[in-house]
Amino acid sequence: MTKSKNDKYTARNFRDESNSRSHYVGRFAPSPSGPLHYGSLVTALASFLDAKHNKGKWLLRIEDLDFFRNSRSASLEIQKQLKGFRLIWDDEVLFQSSSTLGYSEALKQLADSTYLCSCNRKESRPIYNGNCRKNGADKTKSTALRLMISQDKLSFKDAVFGHLQWKGLEDLGDFIIKRKDGVFAYHLAVVVDDLNQKITHVVRGSDLLDSTPRQLDIYKKLGLNPPKYCHLPVIVDSNNFKLSKQSFAKKVDPEKAVTILRLALTDLGQIIPRTENHQHLLEQAIKNWNVERIPKKLTTKAPKMLL
Ligand code: GLU
């Protein structure tokens, strides 16, 4: 009997039940390029509330593959801030940098759909034109590995934005799954980790909306089921830039947890509990959490005091 792609991949990397996940498992997956700012706190809070409202687990994954941009001190600071806000995760923290074996295995499974690419970033924008797919890579240059995106329509139903659809080649283009510097790229890592952690629900910012069809294509090629997705309005500054370390976003202070959590709940369209007690506030917020109240918009301006 020949094994299907699915059997092969599951047997090597994931526990038996990995493709029949039923109970809710959510996650927060920050890149430790700096401490938590208001934008990342809103994502952490929404994913926490969605998991706890659904009586599920909420996991913390530190996405630290990019060792040039990430730091151990930021990762420790993020954990300290989450604890200060009483957003307490279940199980052990997963550090992406410690789980690269699964990425190599996934790459092997995807090998038939990949090709080497020597194009630089500029040549790949806005949508990669498939130059190295057609003409082969310039082997005198360093090369990345690209995945041939499906020709089919890639679609999913987002919990906030509803039914969304992209044309693989036209709207997205082939994308990198292993970088020129040898680092596994975000899309591959996130799929493998979500599978390994048996994530059933992904709650994250709308800046990652068009990452989702790329990740869905990887699931499809591996023959495995994707999680459900919920994208939130991204928190932006007064110039409409996403809050980030680069935009000098202020770190959120757990001493002001109640005030900040109230602001975050407001931005997530939720009912604001009356209580001033931190624990009660969270308990009420879990009880009242309603995805349908999340505003259907791509961005929300950060409150001035948190910029
Ligand atoms: N690490 C990504 C970020 O900090 C989030 C990835 C995800 O949620 O899929 O933007």
| Mean pLDDT per 10-residue section of the chain, whose length is 307 residues | 36 39 87 95 98 97 89 94 98 90 94 96 89 95 96 94 93 95 95 96 97 96 97 96 88 97 98 96 98 98 93
Per-residue pLDDT, 11: 31
Q: Distance (Å, rounded) from C-alpha 267 to C-alpha 302?
A: 9
Per-residue pLDDT, 51: 97
Residue 251 one-letter amino acid: K
Q: Which of 47, 59, 95, 204 to mutate to test the pocket of ligand 1 (most atoms within 8 A of CB)?
A: 204
CATH 3.40.50.620 fits 24-111+189-306, yes or no: yes
Provide the residue ranges of all domains of the chain, joining segments of one domain with +.
Answer: 24-111+189-306
Residue 59 one-letter amino acid: L
Per-residue pLDDT, 199: 97
Structural element, H or E, at residue 42: helix 38-53
CA 113 to chain centre: 23
Per-residue pLDDT, 242: 95
Q: What residue's CA is closest to ligand 1, atom 7?
A: 29
Q: Is the CB of 31 under 6 A from ligand 1?
A: yes
What pTM does this model have? 0.91
Per-residue pLDDT, 149: 96
**Contact indicator for 224, 195 with CB cutoff of 8 Å:** yes
**208 C-alpha to ligand 1 centroid (Å):** 8
Per-residue pLDDT, 21: 43
Structural element, H or E, at residue 2: none
Q: Is the CB of 148 under 6 A from ligand 1?
A: no
Q: Distance (Å, rounded) from C-alpha 203 to C-alpha 233?
A: 11
- In a 3-state reduction of DSSP, which class is residue 167? strand
Closest by Cα among 140, 120, 142, 141 to 131: 120
**Contact indicator for 271, 281 with CB cutoff of 8 Å:** no
Q: Distance (Å, rounded) from C-alpha 83 to C-alpha 181?
A: 34
Per-residue pLDDT, 151: 86
Q: Radius of gyration of the chain from Cα atoms? A: 20
- How does strand 57-62 pair with strand 25-28? parallel
CA distances to 18, 77, 81, 146 from 72, rounded to whole Å, are 30, 9, 14, 29
Atom of ligand 1 nearest to the CA of 27: 8
A 10 A CB-CB count for 278 gives: 15
**72 C-alpha to ligand 1 centroid (Å):** 17
Per-residue pLDDT, 14: 37
